[in-house]
């Protein structure tokens, strides 16, 4: 785990702990029954009440009890159930970082348990829920894809197979959007050379992207704008690059909605090259 994600995990744990203390405090102040549960030395009773809270979706009530049960049942038969439900409780309160960690640890520690498949899937789902909108860093999105792919590799006949594949496709589309928006930012800020490189890399990485036609057009326009803004010494070379980009565009998208604009750029390039030739002969 890298340093940033470790810090994020710690931060989320602190926040979760603070909320738990706040809610637990209100429970113990307003309800002596909960206070009795926490003070009880009957482990079976604690576990049953924790499960009651969890089943009733009273997640913040279940979590501190389960934390104690997990600590006290290590090495016993109850440890397996306690650890699984502890992961569930973290997911229930929305702490997806810790829920992912505990679900993943459960699947790794108890691979033969009937719930190992569910735990592996839930771990991937936590990463899916942590995946941000396309404009933000997509590290969590990439991790979610990797986790779902690992899940499918381990459980190819799982009942969660179709759901996992659908989510993978959704996450990959988010990466496509991120790739396009990052390249378009270069174009929008008139960094045309960088825009060409970014669009070309995006098309290589996502050859089936629905943005392919638009990106190819923006590559052509970026070449033209870059040539137009160049020094006289470099214009001929860069107008020729634009013509080459035009030919590639026409070959790939002969029926493109951008064809009229593309042909207009092509004609401008030809005229610009003719003007450069005339200027050279008169000098």
Residue-wise burial string across 106-124, b where 16 or more C-beta atoms lie within 10 A, e elsewhere: bbeebeebebbbbbbbbbb
Digit-coded pLDDT (tens) for 185-215: 999 999 999 999 999 999 999 999 999 999 9
Q: Would you state the pLDDT for residue 228?
A: 95
What number is the average pLDDT over the span 125-133?
97
Whether the CB-CB separation of 242 and 227 falls below 8 Å is answered with yes
Q: Would you state the pLDDT for residue 8?
A: 52
Q: Would you state the pLDDT for residue 1?
A: 44
Whether the CB-CB separation of 175 and 188 falls below 8 Å is answered with no
Paired tokens of 151:
């899940």
In terms of Cα–Cα distance, which of 99, 45, 37 is closest to 64?
Answer: 37
What number is the average pLDDT over the span 247-262?
98
Paired tokens of 83:
């650890």
- Mean pLDDT over the full length of the chain: 89
Record the pTM: 0.79
Cα distance between residue 130 and residue 224, in whole Å = 40
Q: Which domains does the chain have, with CATH numbers?
A: 3-93 (no CATH), 190-277 (1.20.58)
Q: Would you state the pLDDT for residue 279?
A: 78
What number is the average pLDDT over the span 79-88?
96
10-15, Cβ contacts within 8 angstroms, sequence gap of 24 or more: 12/95, 12/97, 12/98, 13/95, 13/97, 13/98, 15/95
State the alpha helices, DSSP H only, in 40-191.
43-55, 59-72, 78-92, 96-109, 116-130, 139-154, 161-188
Q: Would you state the pLDDT for residue 283?
A: 59
């Amino acid at each position: 785990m890298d340093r940033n994600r470790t810090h994020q995990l710690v931060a989320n744990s602190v926040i979760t702990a603070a909320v738990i203390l706040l809610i637990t405090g209100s429970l113990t102040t307003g309800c002596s029954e909960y206070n009795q549960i926490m003070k009880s030395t009957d482990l079976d009773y604690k576990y049953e009440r924790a499960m009651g809270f969890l089943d009733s979706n009273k997640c913040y009530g279940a979590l501190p009890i389960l934390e104690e049960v997990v600590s006290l049942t290590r090495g016993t038969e109850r440890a397996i159930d306690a650890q699984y439900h502890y992961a569930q409780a973290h997911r229930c309160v929305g702490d997806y970082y810790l829920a992912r960690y505990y679900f993943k640890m459960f699947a790794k520690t108890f691979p033969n348990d009937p719930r190992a498949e569910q735990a592996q899937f839930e771990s991937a789902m936590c990463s899916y829920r942590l995946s941000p909108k396309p404009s933000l860093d997509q590290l969590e999105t990439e991790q979610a894809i990797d986790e779902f792919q690992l899940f499918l590799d381990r459980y190819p006949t799982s009942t969660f197979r179709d759901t996992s594949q659908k989510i993978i496709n959704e996450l990959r589309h988010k990466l496509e959007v991120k790739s396009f928006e990052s390249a378009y930012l270069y174009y929008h800020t008139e960094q045309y050379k960088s825009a060409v490189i970014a669009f070309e890399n995006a098309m290589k990485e996502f050859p089936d992207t629905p943005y392919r036609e638009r990106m190819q057009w923006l590559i052509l326009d970026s070449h033209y704008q870059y040539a137009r803004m160049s020094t006289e010494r470099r214009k001929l070379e860069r107008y020729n690059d634009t013509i080459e980009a035009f030919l590639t565009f026409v070959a790939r998208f002969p029926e493109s909605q951008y064809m009229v604009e593309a042909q207009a750029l092509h004609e401008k390039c030809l005229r610009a090259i003719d003007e450069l030739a005339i200027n050279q002969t008169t000098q």
